[in-house]
Amino acid sequence: MTTIDAKGVYYKQLNEQIKEAVANGAKRIKLTNVMGQYYIADGITGDASIEIEGVPGQDLAAFMNGPTIVVKNNAQDTIGNTMDSGKIVIHGLAGDVLGYGMRGGKMHILSDVGYRVGIHMKSYKEKVPVIIVGGNAGDFFGEYMAGGVLILLGINPVREEMPICGDYLGTGMHGGVMYIRGKVDIDRCGAEVGLDKLDAMDKKLLKRYLEDYCKDFDLDINEILKEEFTKVYPKSKRPYGTLYCY
Amino acid sequence: MKRVYPVEDYCMGCGLCEVACATEHSKSKDIVKAYKEEAVTPRNFVERKEYLSYSINCRHCEEPSCIEACITGAVDFDEDGRVLIDQARCVACWSCIMACPFGVIKRDTVNNVSTKCDQCVERETPACVQACPNRALIYEER
Amino acid sequence: MFYEKDISGCGLSGFIDKSKKRVSGEEIIKSIALQHDRGNGLGGGFAAYGIYPEFKDYYAFHIMYDNMNALATTEELLHKDLLVKHYEKIPVRRTLKIPTHPILRRYFVKAKPSEEEYELLDIESLDEDDFIVRLVMRINSEVKGAFVFSSGKNMGAFKGVGFPEDVADFFKLDEYHGYIWTAHNRFPTNTPGWWGGAHPFTLLDWSIVHNGEVSSYGINKRYLEMFGYKCTLFTDTEVVTYILDLLIRKHKLSKELACKVLSSAFWKDIDNMDDIDQKVNTALRMVYGSALLNGPFAILFAYKNGLIGLNDRVKLRPLIVGYKGDRVYMSSEESAIRIIEPDLDTVFAPKAGEPVIVEFEAEA
Amino acid sequence: MLYKSFVDSFSDYIIDRNEDKCILCRICERQCSYEAHGFDKKNSVMTKQDHKCICCRRCEAMCPTGAISIRENPSQFKRNSNWTASHRKNIYKQAETGGILLVGMGNPTGKQPTYFDRMLLDASQVTNPSIDPLREPMELRTYLGRKPDRLEFEEKDGRVSLKTKLTPQLKLEYPIMFSAMSYGAINYNVHVGMARASQKMGIYYNTGEGGLHKSLYPYGANTIVQVASGRFGVNAEYLNVAGGIEIKIGQGAKPGIGGHLPGEKVNEEVSRTRMIPAGTDALSPAPHHDIYSIEDLRQLIYALKEATDYKNPVSVKIAAVHNSAAIASGIVRAGADILTLDGYRGGTGAAPLVTRNNVGIPIELALASVDQRLRDEGIRNHVSIVVGGGIRSSADVVKAIALGADAVYIGTATLVSVGCTLCRMCFTGKCPWGIATNDQSLSKRINPDIAEEKLSNLIRGWGLEIKEIIGGMGLNALESMRGSRHRLRGVGLSESELDILGIAPAGK
């Protein structure tokens, strides 16, 4: 275990230290006293695992390719931006625009997420990005979603009284799938999505994703699966095919 | 020996090579006259299937079946190794056509003789090669 | 007002005494007079260093005025911002060859910024030189009819409309003694002669005499404007002065490197240099490309510690250097050197873009 | 009207076939991807459907006997200068479909002035000599990237070396680059041509937002990879293999909106490169969803720098809009190394007509105001400016450079050089010239070997002309032309236009 004390270190130097440790073959890295440093683990390739104590800053794991990141606390915005593969586990809540353009890997968040999470996630063949949110999500969840899986549980929200998902769910969605625990109000969804019950295949997939999620947070999967899920799917691969004339 | 090779990737199947060949082997050497007055037969032809296309013509084989099959000795090598048909000696038995594994020998129905690519003996570059707008025919030694 | 620009051809001459022995102005007059035919009588000028030993710690302002109004406005500015140790008319000799002339004054001054200005200087980390530069820019650009010929310490520019020998006579230069002299004979082609437009151009103790025309004037000017220089005179020589001030005084480049900016190496040569030189020269062109003087030029650039001769990177203008003892002469024509020093130790023509830098032997 | 839509009943063009010359070779039929030509086997005659003709002139060019000519339909709607024929036709189209009018390439109306055509260049006479570019050195090399205000040097062992650490730069042997046109919008063969020509000529091409095909990684050193709102094909490898990275905020042809690559164009290879399933629309949102403010742009710029260990310069591309100057200042201060401005006349594969024809400002004005603004703020050195959107000739290049650009992007000119005739139907995916199409039978029409040659020739030819022009002004290095507005004069421009361009009227 390589420990790097991030106290008072500017992001540029911190990330240099992380990259250097990875280059030197470190497999387990612990960052202590992290306080909002941007760009942690950006563009890093490999199988290192990085444990973060403190609150990491914006663009955590952008363009990341392989590593596992565990955040012991809350995290901020734009996590997993255009992330390629790897895993991010956040033992708390996270902010806006998570997994923007994410193309692979997993992101597990224990509690709430903000607005515009999972925008334009995309999948290609074996690469299927997955974001699982334990709490509630803000508006525009899965906007422009082009592939991958978004799972929203609503079991660990900070504010119980808030709806599980916000408005404009899946606006412009043209690929991938969402599984949302409980009922979804179609009026709060984008025009491009349809709602359905889970079929056998969906249930199998959901169970597989949730097993991994529950392991990370030591949760009981049966408890979660007690409630029915709603499947949100894109009605077309080409939502705007008839938008134009010439 | 230099041969004409088709480049399948860039053959767009237009057929200009055929027009060039037919004209080159016409009496008038004029496209319109060749087609309208002489009823020429191109000696190469473009194969097309869906997006695939390529222009094929005689390969000028080193061991040609057509020469073996010709009953009159009309088909023979020239000094450069090209396989040519002496149409004066052709008796239209079509043995060469049947023997050719590539199907590149045709019947000249007007003159009732076999006909095939002669690599435009008198030209530096065969007409089909020069005519191809996309360099999908290459004349080179390999 | 757009980029009207003065266009001119010329001849130039100059010399330095490395031991700081002061020489009468008569010699430089002889040298530039020989090149009479390179000019057309519309401009002649001289820069002389070491001529004011009694005021050597004071900025010497040579200022011309078109009218008394300009004089009054300027003097008000000067007295407000400067400690004026001494001021006087610049002594002149009446001569038929110079029928009219502007009002000419010189002032020996030190900066006396107001409290506000002190604070501003401090905020922008500027020094006394910067203060003087700003004042010169201000007078030249804001006071109609006033123009600062020169503003350096222990030096001065003397220039006007006429042939240089007549201008020298007018200013009584034969009575001055200096250790660097430069002179210029001007052939302007499109502007009426204006006293301010003659060479040398100066800023602080930099002075430039220049032969040729800088084809890159447009971008040189815009580049300088980014650093607060106001190019008001529409001449390329002015931009040369300011570029040198920027590079050497403000950006602390060595004289050699500054010359490499003005007259940069070609990419094909840079490509063949070793790593260190390649980096240096590439960076100079990348960063200071807008300061490259493109087009024909030969310049003599005098400053408090020496004299530099430089020509453009394809050598479109002539420049000859002659050595004799402590003296180094530079001129457009060898004859202009020979006439004052027939017996030179060595004479050579520097290559395109090769600076000849001569500094005083012992710095005082 | 029989089997035709209302608007199709009014053909724009007429296909004239000279029957005396037609040899029934059927090449026109095979080459027309819009099926305007046909063959009646029974009667052995060629047929045609004028309303399908888009005037690409492919058939005309390919006809071996010159039997075909395409002409505008002389039949006119009743003349009305206000309600032009195109206004009427556009309404017919929309009345039938209820859709957004889609167009390709730049604005053809010519209703706004092309300022390049109203500016004239200077030349030397006598007082400063012109330079003969054929015999004397003439340098066009250009470095793009952030420059420090000043340099510091140090002396070690009697040698002067550079102390200032420079940020990464793109080295160009010509001040011209092939602008961003995504793989998908145009096909692989054109990309290969651009990549090879860039390497050969020592310049760069821009991938556009469609990712970079793996087979083109070897040309990475001459590639600028784009990161747009759709993030197609963006990953760490893509960013690192490139010479430079460009964040695309906007595009001159369609400022303020995103892009939709229709599913028809997303074939297997495009899908692999973009990393999205084949056949889906590739949708680029209007904004980057991680940029809603200037500090967010800074965040993305530095995220990209972090991901590439600060070895690639980062460009930010914006469309030329009303307050470009202020935006540009913000972008420079946000850490961009290169600022790319794309003007009103810029091309595109597809844009809503209403946007293309009505949004944005001409590149000349945007460039002039941005360059001046950055100079006024003393930060012009901190960024290189690259402009695109309407560069048609080497003269335009020189004028753009004189106005203050470091280099230019050519998009439409790039495509024209490989055969595009500006028929402006790129979005249909049926480009008869094999450029804006991924259809396998059509994209074969571009042979990358030929494309590479033509593109290299264009750059070489323009380079020679630029040398002639600047040599004529007595300059032997392009940096002396850069920003030298003094060498431009305006003709037929208003005082305020002259003022914005920072140039004098001709004769003054």
Rounded distance between C-alpha atoms, residue C362 and residue D11, angstroms? 90
Of A101, A243, A246, the CB nearest to D231: A101
Amino acid at site B139: Y
With a CB cutoff of 8 Å and minimum separation 6, the contacts of C174 are: C24, C25, C26, C29, C168
Q: What does the pLDDT read at residue C111?
A: 85
Tell me how far apart the alpha carbons of residues A174 and D59 are, in angstroms, rounded to a whole number: 38
Is pLDDT at C7 greater than 50 in this prediction? Answer: no
CATH number of the domain residue A96 falls in: 2.160.20.60
Model pLDDT, residue C38: 83
Q: What domain range includes position D32?
A: 7-99
Q: How far apart are CA A122 and CA A148, in angstroms?
A: 6
- Residue A43 one-letter amino acid: G
Residues of chain B contacting D449 with CB distance shorter than 8 Å: 135
Is residue D305 situated within a structural domain? yes
The interface predicted TM-score (ipTM) is: 0.87
Which residue is listed with tokens 């048609």? Answer: D392
Q: Does D345 fall in a domain? A: yes
Q: Is A45 on the interface with D (CB under 8 A)?
A: yes
Please indicate whether, in this complex, the C-beta atoms of D151 and C288 are within 8 angstroms of each other: yes
pLDDT of residue C4: 46
Asked if chain D contacts chain B via 3 or more Cβ pairs within 8 Å, the reply is yes
Q: Is residue A244 part of a domain?
A: no
Radius of gyration of chain B (CA): 15
Cα–Cα dist D410/D430, whole Å: 23
Distance CA(C271)–CA(C278), nearest Å, equals 7
Could you tell me if residue A14 is inside a domain? Answer: no
Query: Is the residue at D163 inside a domain?
Result: no
Provide the pLDDT for residue D136: 86
C38 at interface of D, judged by CB pairs closer than 8 A: no
Q: Within a 13 Å sphere around the CA of C161, how many CA atoms are in the beta-carbon half?
A: 15
Number of domains in chain A: 1
D370 chain-C contacts, CB cut-off 8 A: none
Same domain, D213 and D87: no
Q: Is residue D221 within 8 Å of D190, Cβ to Cβ?
A: no
**pTM score of the predicted model:** 0.91
Query: What is D50-73 written as a DSSP string?
Result: GGG-----HHHHH-TT--EEEEE-
3-class SS of residue C244 = helix
What is the predicted pLDDT for the residue at C363? 53
* Pairwise CB contact (< 8 Å): A246 & D103: yes
Contact D129 C266 (CB under 8 A): no
A98 is a domain residue: yes
In a domain, A229, yes or no: yes
Residues in a beta bridge with A189: A169
Residue D63 sits in a domain whose CATH number is: 3.30.70.20
Q: Any alpha helices (H) in B27-126, and if so which ranges?
A: 31-33, 65-69, 95-99
Q: Do C215 and D127 count as a contact with CB atoms less than 8 A apart?
A: no
Domain that holds residue A160: 92-239
Q: φ, ψ for residue D113 (rounded to 5)? A: -65, 145
Question: Residues near C118 by Cβ (< 8 Å), separated by ≥ 6?
Answer: none
**Contact yes or no for C151/C61 (Cβ under 8 A):** yes
Residue with tokens 């006071």: C143
- Overall number of domains in chain D: 2
Counted residue by residue, chain A has a size of: 246
* Domain shared by D300 and D173, yes or no: yes
Cα–Cα dist A169/A160, whole Å: 19
Is the pLDDT score of C115 beyond 90? no
* Confidence band, pLDDT 50/70/90 cuts, at residue B131: very high
List, as one string, the DSSP characters of C126-154.
Answer: --HHHHHHHHHHHHHHHSTTEEEEE--BT
Query: Residue D472's closest chain C neighbor by CA?
Result: C215
Rounded distance, CA A228 to CA D454, Å? 62
Lowest mean pLDDT among B92-96, C312-316, D45-49, D390-394: C312-316
Interface of D with A in 390-429 (CB under 8 A): 425, 427-428
Under a CB-based contact definition with an 8 Å cutoff, are residues C306 and C327 in contact?
no
Question: Which one of the listed residues C10, C70, C262, C321 is annotated catalytic?
Answer: C10
Cα–Cα distance between D150 and B49 in angstroms, integer?
Answer: 64
% chain B with pLDDT above 70:
100
- Give Cα A35 distance to the centre of its chain: 21
Q: Is D167 on the interface with A (CB under 8 A)?
A: no
Whether D177 and D202 have beta carbons less than 8 Å apart is answered as no
Q: Which residues in chain D are contacts of B13 at CB distance < 8 A?
A: 30, 441
Q: How confident is the model at residue C191 (pLDDT cuts 50, 70, 90)?
A: low
- Chain D interface test: which of A38, A63, A77, A168 (most D C-beta within 10 Å): A63
Task: Please state the domain count of chain C.
Answer: 1
Contacts of D97 in chain A (CB under 8 A): 242, 245
D273 chain-A contacts, CB cut-off 8 A? none
Inside any domain, residue D126: no
CB atoms within 10 A of CB D476: 25
How confident is the model over D264-275, as a mean pLDDT?
A: 89
Of the candidates D501, D271, D295, the one whose C-alpha atom is nearest the C-alpha of residue D400 is D501
> How high is the pLDDT of residue D408?
98
- Of A97-111, A136-150, C99-113, C186-200, the least confident: C186-200
Domains of chain B and any CATH numbers:
1-57+118-142 (3.30.70.20), 61-116 (3.30.70.20)
Nearest CA among C19, C339, C2, C48 for reference residue C209: C48
Reported confidence tier of residue C362, pLDDT bands at 50, 70, 90 = low
- Could you tell me the pLDDT band of residue C3, with boundaries at 50, 70 and 90? very low
Average pLDDT, chain D: 95
- For residues D179 and D37, state if they share a domain: no
In a domain, residue D108? The reply is no
Q: How confident is the model at residue C159 (pLDDT cuts 50, 70, 90)?
A: very high
Q: Which of D455, D424, D192 is nearest to B10 (CA)?
A: D192
Would the CB atoms of A244 and D102 count as touching at under 8 Å?
yes
Per the DSSP assignment, residues forming a β-bridge with A48 are: none
What lies within 8 Å, CB to CB, of C96 at 6+ separation is none
In this prediction, residue C232 has a pLDDT band, given cuts at 50, 70 and 90, of: confident
Residue C237's pLDDT is what?
82
Cβ atoms of D137 and D210 closer than 8 Å? no
Write down the pLDDT at residue C189.
61
CA distance B79 to D391: 56
How many secondary structure helices (H) and strands (E) does chain D include? 15, 23
Tens-digit pLDDT profile for residues D111-134: 899 999 999 999 988 777 888 888
Each residue of D271-284: pLDDT tens digit? Answer: 999 988 888 888 89
Query: Residues of chain A whose pLDDT is less than 70?
Result: none
| C259 in catalytic set | no
Task: Write out the two tokens for A231.
Answer: 């499947």
Mean pLDDT of D81-109: 93
Which amino acid does the sequence have at C123? I
CATH code at C349? 3.60.20.10
Beta strands in D372-502, from DSSP E residues, in sequence order? 384-388, 407-410, 488-490
Chain A partners within 8 Å of D306 (Cβ) = 11-12, 15, 38-39, 42-43, 59, 62
Q: Tell me the pLDDT tens digit for each residue of C271-320.
A: 999 999 999 999 999 999 999 999 889 999 999 999 999 999 988 888 99
Chain D residues 273-302 with a CB less than 8 Å from chain A: 275-277, 279-283, 285, 289-290, 299-300, 302
Q: What is the DSSP letter of A189?
A: B
Contact D283 A82 (CB under 8 A): no
Segment D493-504 mean pLDDT: 97
Q: Which domain holds residue C213?
A: 11-262+296-359
